[in-house]
Amino acid sequence: MNKIMIISMSIALTTIIVPIHNVEFFYSNNINENIIFECSKEIVNDEIEYWALLIAGGIYANNPAKRLDPPPIVCNMLHKTLLISERWDENHIKSITWKNATHIEIIKGFQWLDQMEDENDICLIYFNTHGGSFPFDFPPLDEEDGKDEIIPTYNSWFPIRNPFTQLPFTNPFGFMTDDEINYFINRLESHGICMIFDSCHSGGFNDNWSFAYNEQRFDFASELGKDFEGKNRVIITSCSEEELTYGANWFSYYLRKGMQGYADSNSDGLCSAEEVFNYTKPFILDMDGVYPDTMYPQIFDDYPGELLLTEVEMPPLSPIVKGENIVKTNITYHYQIYSEDAEGDKIKYFIDWGDGSNDSTDFHDSGKTVNISHNWSNSGTYTIKLEATDEKGVTIDDGLIITVTDTYLADQRQVKVDHGVIRLNIPYFWLHYIDNTYWLAQSFIPSFNTLAKVELGFQSSGIDEAIVSIRAELNGSDLAFSSLIPPSHDWNGWFYEWHAPDWVMFDFPDIELILGKEYYIVARQSTGIWGDFLSWTDDNPYINGSIYFSEDAGETWKIFNERPNVEFNTDVNFVTYGV
């Protein structure tokens, strides 16, 4: 049986303690594979088969501060993308996510892969979780920088607080080192192996790779790959050994897009690991200046020719929606959806109306306008999410932001969510935290005499109280204030092609305003817990106001867009309501 394995890992920074052991000796003498994982070897034949082990933690027992929602979500999306290809079968893909991503379950996953694959196959291995490096190198002493790379699993922390850090004590047997992972990879016989690590320090996940600084940075992968020469492997990492991975798994996002067909540079209808990497890398480098440091994706390619992963099966075009975006409660409004499919497949639509209800359509011809309708019972701003899916099961998402009014009408409104600076070719929004000392304010000029409610774009942990007030002067007193605990943000929407913040309403006693005068929406938290964020957008979407910030609980204020080395011209996502 011919098998292809792809391994991908997404790892963020962490500081942890790992066990000291000689990996090969430890596993050769301490693991009874028949006890840990029972699996009968399939009958070997000449057929090429594809096998994937996809690993993405996201949550960690006893340490909720390390929670990462995007990795398991992206892992699930990658799983679905692979199944669209004729090369992949459901029972040939094992995904280990969320709390199932324990140390022992990951070992079982590698053993499953070892049992199922043979010398004819292709394998894909995908890791997506936190990661970091240890201060020294455990045996075998193979790290030129003297530090082993490590990743946590679900059970990497004890339920005991460290009095020096206020974080849980680490479980030395809950982490995996790069030596441990390499031990399992070296047991595989597959004709081709693609390993993808989307993680902080992911460049170090190959034995004896060395980090080259400055102008030698791009030689890093070749140095790192020396131990794999002649072993038919393609190793792809999101960054080099001493770098962090930023930005909610954008590396994995574009790898998946590439596998759909966007990476097919030679137009042969197939997407290889090499093409997928070459498609992804420019997008990541284009983030230079957006995040604290530039990520430099790495590749080591010792596979003869190209390691093929998928066939081209493009998604439909992002659906275009036409209709009103400011509406009234209890009135039915009609909308038109339009999309086209590159292969001419029929398209069906799924609509999440943002109020707990949804609709779906049958398949329609590509390019045909489809009519839908809806009415909302409650006022507020809603993010309408749309999915267009073709007959092959390939889906693309888009959306529309609609404000629903009743007694009070929408006055000033800034709901744009796309962020031009990132240049990722997808709509996006920025976030900035608030706490009890770091406050944000958005100025606005009303066109109504009375202000009754303010709605803000939030991403919240759902833990701490947010306080919003209205002021006539930044350093003046509150005309009125309102406080509540915002709902916890639903990360399952994060990797929609189109995404928006949560809309949180703050009610006030009616405030009399002076037309044409500038007022301020001031937002802060009741404590210093890092958990509430306001969303804002670039390109000066609201011309009648600006963002201000205070680092001393409102004593002094500065214009947000005039900070040193800041090129953004931003405004908070907000809606004011009045009469």
pLDDT tens-digit readout, 30-89:
444 443 444 444 444 568 999 999 999 878 888 776 776 677 888 888 999 999 999 999
Looking at the structure, tell me whether residues 287 and 376 fall in a common domain: no
Question: What pLDDT does residue 227 have?
Answer: 41
Looking at the structure, tell me whether residues 552 and 526 fall in a common domain: yes
Query: Rounded to an integer, what distance in angstroms lies between the CA atom of residue 396 and that of residue 337?
Result: 13
Structure tokens at 348: 């069906």
Of the candidates 376, 406, 436, which is a domain's last residue?
406
How far does the chain reach from its first CA to its final CA, in angstroms? 72
Element spanning 301, H or E = strand 298-301
Looking at the structure, tell me whether residues 420 and 402 fall in a common domain: no
Query: Rounded to an integer, what distance in angstroms lies between the CA atom of residue 569 and that of residue 562?
Result: 9
Query: Rounded to an integer, what distance in angstroms lies between the CA atom of residue 351 and that of residue 284?
Result: 31
Question: What pLDDT does residue 188 have?
Answer: 93
User: 17-31, 297-311, 489-503, 562-576: which range is least confident on average?
Assistant: 17-31
Q: Specify the DSSP class assigned to residue 444.
A: E
Looking at residues 385-408, what average pLDDT do you find? 92
pLDDT tens-digit readout, 95-119:
999 899 999 999 999 999 999 999 9
Question: What pLDDT does residue 174 have?
Answer: 81
Structure tokens at 312: 């081209």
Confidence of residue 415 (pLDDT cuts 50, 70, 90): very high
Distances (CA, A) of 179 to 7, 25, 176, 439: 15, 12, 8, 46
Query: Rounded to an integer, what distance in angstroms lies between the CA atom of residue 521 and that of residue 572?
Result: 10
Question: What pLDDT does residue 566 have?
Answer: 58
More confident residue, 5 or 269: 269
User: In terms of residue numbers, what domain contains 429?
Assistant: 411-578
Looking at the structure, tell me whether residues 21 and 133 fall in a common domain: yes
- Residue 226, SS3? helix
Looking at residues 420-439, what average pLDDT do you find? 63
Q: Per-residue pLDDT for 553 more than 60?
A: yes
Q: Per-residue pLDDT for 14 more than 50?
A: no
Query: Rounded to an integer, what distance in angstroms lies between the CA atom of residue 312 and that of residue 205?
Result: 30
User: 155-164, 396-405, 437-446: which range is least confident on average?
Assistant: 155-164
Of the candidates 278, 311, 344, which is a domain's last residue?
311
Looking at residues 482-497, what average pLDDT do you find? 71
Element spanning 571, H or E = strand 571-572
Structure tokens at 346: 């029929």
Looking at residues 211-225, what average pLDDT do you find? 34
- Residue 189, SS3? coil
User: 264-273, 283-292, 341-350: which range is least confident on average?
Assistant: 283-292
Looking at the structure, tell me whether residues 224 and 266 fall in a common domain: yes
Q: Per-residue pLDDT for 317 more than 70?
A: yes
Structure tokens at 335: 């909308």
User: 162-166, 211-215, 249-253, 381-385: which range is least confident on average?
Assistant: 211-215
Q: Helix 178-185 crosses helix 103-116 at what angle (to 10 degrees)?
A: 20
Q: Per-residue pLDDT for 373 more than 70?
A: yes
Looking at residues 318-339, what average pLDDT do you find? 95
Backbone angles phi, psi at 159, to 5 degrees: -80, 40
Structure tokens at 63: 């340490």
More confident residue, 134 or 543: 543
Query: Rounded to an integer, what distance in angstroms lies between the CA atom of residue 160 and that of residue 22?
Result: 28
Looking at residues 426-441, what average pLDDT do you find? 76
Q: Specify the DSSP class assigned to residue 488.
A: P
Looking at residues 255-279, what average pLDDT do you find? 96
Confidence of residue 25 (pLDDT cuts 50, 70, 90): very low
**C-alpha triplet 121, 124, 125: angle, nearest 5°:** 135
**3-state secondary structure string across 92-108:** HEEEEEHHHCCHHHHHH
Of the candidates 341, 376, 406, which is a domain's last residue?
406
Q: Per-residue pLDDT for 529 more than 80?
A: no
**3-state secondary structure string across 303-335:** CCCCCEEEECCCCCCCCEEECCCEEECCCCEEE
Looking at the structure, tell me whether residues 148 and 293 fall in a common domain: yes
More confident residue, 560 or 390: 390
CATH number of the domain encompassing residue 203: 3.40.50.1460
Instruction: Name the β-bridge partners of 131.
Output: 13
Question: What pLDDT does residue 191 have?
Answer: 94
Looking at the structure, tell me whether residues 327 and 307 fall in a common domain: no
Looking at the structure, tell me whether residues 211 and 122 fall in a common domain: yes
Place of tokens 């001031």: 522
Looking at the structure, tell me whether residues 345 and 272 fall in a common domain: no
CATH number of the domain encompassing residue 398: 2.60.40.10
- In sign, the C-alpha dihedral spanning 222, 226, 230, 234 is negative
CB 318 within 8 A of CB 259: no
Looking at the structure, tell me whether residues 420 and 379 fall in a common domain: no
More confident residue, 79 or 203: 79
Question: What pLDDT does residue 249 have?
Answer: 73
Looking at the structure, tell me whether residues 29 and 72 fall in a common domain: yes
Q: Per-residue pLDDT for 140 more than 90?
A: no
Confidence of residue 221 (pLDDT cuts 50, 70, 90): very low
Spatial neighbors of 106 by CB under 8 A, at least 6 apart, are 55, 96, 153, 176
Query: Rounded to an integer, what distance in angstroms lies between the CA atom of residue 255 and that of residue 365?
Result: 29
Confidence of residue 294 (pLDDT cuts 50, 70, 90): low
CATH number of the domain encompassing residue 525: 2.60.120
More confident residue, 254 or 136: 254
Element spanning 350, H or E = strand 347-352
Question: What pLDDT does residue 242 have?
Answer: 47
Looking at the structure, tell me whether residues 338 and 257 fall in a common domain: no
Structure tokens at 278: 């070459």
Looking at residues 523-533, what average pLDDT do you find? 82
- Residue 529, SS3? coil
Tally of domains in the chain: 3
Q: Per-residue pLDDT for 8 more than 70?
A: no
CB 481 within 8 A of CB 441: no
Peptide bond into 72 cis (omega under 30): no
Question: What pLDDT does residue 356 have?
Answer: 93
Confidence of residue 422 (pLDDT cuts 50, 70, 90): very low
| DSSP codes, 358-419 | EEE---B-TT--EEEEE--SS-EEEEEEEEEEETT--EEEEEEEEEEESSSEEEEEE-----
Confidence of residue 496 (pLDDT cuts 50, 70, 90): very low
Q: Per-residue pLDDT for 321 more than 50?
A: yes
CB 536 within 8 A of CB 500: no
